[in-house]
Structure 1
Amino acid sequence: MKKTRFHLLFAVVLLTVLAGCGKTAPAADGGSTPASATPAAASTAKAAPKVIKSALNTVPVPLFSFLDEKNQPAGFMIDYLKELEKKLPEYKFEYESVDNEGQLIGTDTGKYAFAANFWFKNPEREKKYLYPQQEFGYSITGLAVKPDRNDIKTLDDLVGKKLVPMTPVSGFRYILKDYNLKHPGKEIKIEDVEKTTPADDLKLVESGKYDAHLLNINHFEDAVKKLNLNLKIGGVISKESVYLLFNKNQTELAQKMDAATVELIKDGTLPKLSEKWFKVDVFKSLEYVQQGYKFRKD
């Protein structure tokens, strides 16, 4: 009888010990983690973001994209891309600096998912690249002239005048082409040049060799300040939408970045970045922007 009780007691103890093996074990942080839950926890861990290769302009675009004193990318567009990464944590952008032609070729061939620059939209590019629906900002274009020239304020005033030559890939060329199509018989002459810089172009105007130069106002202000050029903006011409340029196969990426861009405009993030870098909200009307540039003296 005693042996029977002993055997029963031993069996109860053994079952209790075995049951204890299935209970939670103390974790390193003082909590408890079910042994069977470890594989499941690992499977639900966040996946690393997908690296997206993109091209940046190797030539600094004042206030848009440049290298700061620490040799790090900075500017309106860089801040915009950082905000996109916050909105889309599944992606991480990796940049490579190349010239305009390299950006276009690399994006076309798929080396880059997108080219981050202030690209204008035109029919030729729309055939080869994918444009998002929403622009991420605007290029404010103006006419640089000598201080004593008060006869050049609009594109109409360029008819019969000498305009600084442009490269074949210049977005400003399409502004002039569009104007010429709408004004047959009163076209603006467009001269070609293989390669140039805003500083060199502005020097041609200061020397008197050319009457005017059509360019982004940020380029103008940067070059005039650095080179102490004696020039002025005769008139603010237009507010051109600027886009990122995607490889044709990057439909999903473009759509996600497009939707995030719309949110960044609606919540005021991009307008605030515009004020930060350009000292004027370029998302407002052209008239508002013209007044902002007209009275700024810095």
Structure 2
Amino acid sequence: MKTARFPLILAFAMLLLTVLSGCGKAAPASGGASAPATGGSAPVAKPAPKVVKAALNTVPVPLFSFLDDKNQPAGFIIDYLKELEKKLPEYKFEYEAVDNEGQLIGTDSGKYAFAANFWFKNPEREKKYLYPQQEFGYSITALAVKPDRNDIKTLDDLVGKKLVPMTPVSGFRYILKDYNLKHPGKEIKIEDVEKTTPAEDLKLIESGRYDAHFINVNHFEDAVKKLNLNVKIGGIISKEPVYLLFNKNQTELAQKIDKTTVELIKDGTLPKLSEKWFKIDVYKSLEYVQQGYQFRKDK
């Protein structure tokens, strides 16, 4: 019996030695053999951030997004996106510059996860794209007129006047459509144009061919400064909420950016960026913004 048990014991010992030997080889991978005497485990490598493709405007938009002296993207939107990346390290944004139509088509098809521009919200776009709940900024809209015109300060004053034509994708068109629905019989006439620029539109005002032009204040100030145009702001009309535009399948990304945007507004980051680029906090009331731009005009 003793000679019968010896091979069994020897076999068990060899098996145990094999198991222990295997554990010893596995130890370095888990930090066992090479771990510090304190017994701590090796740090787990962080996963690489997910690359998210986003569309930017190919045409420079003054103060919003443009290329700086070093040919690098700059502006309010760019700073906003950088703050998002700080708060959301699991993502890395990669940008491609395309025109407005290209941004919409590319986002709808899924080529881009989102389009980073000053997008207004309207029913047609809501059917095709995903909007976050929180706007990230505001477009300050105004009426540009000749210096001797003091009769056009509000949308009511546009009834019966000639307004500079608009492109089909202009966000201002929906503001005017909404006004017309609320004022039957006193509609503002909207003419169409295929393509245009703020400078070309303001020249139409300066020439007297049209009575007024509906325009973003920053576009106005940029064009007037560059071309020394003889036009003025007749009145600040509204501060329109603007959004990033997401592909319908980017629900998780949109929700995370939505939550982060709220945080960036509450902690003062976005208001500070607004003052940096626009010289005014657009997150405050319309009355405050109107007074601020009036003060700048008077100076």
**TM-score normalized with structure 2 length:** 0.87
Q: Note the 1:174-253 alignment, pairs <5 A.
A: 174-253=174-253
After superposition, give the CA deviation of every residue in 1:114-156 in whole Å (9 maximum; x if it has no partner): 0000000000000000000000000000000000000000000
Matched, 1:94 2:94: yes
Secondary structure of 1:161's counterpart equals coil
Quote the offset at 1:102 in angstroms: 0.2
Q: Which stretches in structure 2 are left out of the alignment for 5+ residues?
A: 1-23
Secondary structure of 1:234's counterpart equals strand
**Aligned twin of 1:289:** 289
**Aligned twin of 1:126:** 126
Secondary structure of 1:35's counterpart equals coil
Q: Note the 1:64-213 alignment, pairs <5 A.
A: 64-213=64-213
CA distance in 1, matches of 2:129, 2:90: 23
**Could you tell which deviates more after superposition, 122-131 or 66-75?**
66-75
CA distance in 2, matches of 1:279, 1:231: 21
After superposition, give the CA deviation of every residue in 1:17-44 in whole Å (9 maximum; x if it has no partner): xxxxx7xx9xxxxxxx643669x747x2
Secondary structure of 2:241's counterpart equals strand
The aligned length equals: 270
Look up the equivalent residue of 1:128 and give its one-letter code. Answer: K
**Aligned twin of 2:33:** 35
CA distance in 2, matches of 1:36, 1:162: 80
CA distance in 1, matches of 2:35, 2:263: 38
Quote the offset at 1:205 in angstroms: 0.5
CA distance in 1, matches of 2:189, 2:225: 29
Look up the equivalent residue of 1:62 and give its one-letter code. Answer: P
Quote the offset at 1:61 in angstroms: 1.1
CA distance in 2, matches of 1:196, 1:279: 27
Decide whether aligned partners of structure 1 residues 153 and 92 sit closer, same or farther in structure 2, where only a CA change above 3 A counts: same
Matched, 1:48 2:48: yes
Q: Which stretches in structure 1 are left out of the alignment for 5+ residues?
A: 1-21, 26-32
CA distance in 2, matches of 1:51, 1:216: 32
- Following TM superposition, where does structure 1 have runs of at least 4 consecutive aligned residues deviating by more than 2 angstroms? 33-38
CA distance in 2, matches of 1:73, 1:273: 15
CA distance in 2, matches of 1:180, 1:150: 23
**TM-score normalized with structure 1 length:** 0.87
Q: Note the 1:18-29 alignment, pairs <5 A.
A: none
